[in-house]
Amino acid sequence: MSEHGVGYDDLGFAKLDTSREARTGFPEVVLCEGKPDAYLPEIFQRLVEEDGRALGTRASERQAQLVQGVLPQAAYDSVSRILSVAPEVPVPLVGHVAVVCAGTADTPVAEESARVAEFFGSRVTRHYDVGVAGIHRLLDQMDQPDGIRAATCVVAVAGMEGALASVLGGLVSVPVIAVPTSVGYGASFNGLAALLSMLNTCANGVATVNIDNGFGAAYLATQINRLAVGGGVL
Domain ranges of the chain: 9-85, 94-228
- Measure the CA–CA gap between 228 and 70, rounded to whole angstroms: 38
Q: What is the pLDDT of residue 232?
A: 53
Radius of gyration of the chain, Cα coordinates, nearest whole angstrom: 18
H-helix or E-strand containing 71?
none
pLDDT for the residue numbered 3: 43
Question: Average per-residue pLDDT in the chain?
Answer: 92
Q: What is the pLDDT of residues 125-148, one digit of tens each?
A: 999 999 999 999 999 999 998 999
C-alpha to C-alpha distance for 182 and 158, rounded to whole angstroms: 9
User: Model-level pTM greater than 0.75?
Assistant: yes
Question: What sign results for the dihedral spanned by CA atoms 161, 177, 123, 85?
Answer: positive
- Residue 43 phi/psi, 5-degree rounding, is -60, -50
User: Which architecture, in CATH terms, is 94-228?
Assistant: 3-Layer(aba) Sandwich (3.40)
Q: Is the pLDDT of residue 4 over 50?
A: no
Mind listing the pLDDT tens digit for each residue in 54-63?
999 999 999 9
- Which tens digit of pLDDT belongs to each residue from 53-105? 999 999 999 999 999 999 999 999 999 999 999 988 888 899 999 999 999 99
The pLDDT score that the predictor gives to residue 14 is 87
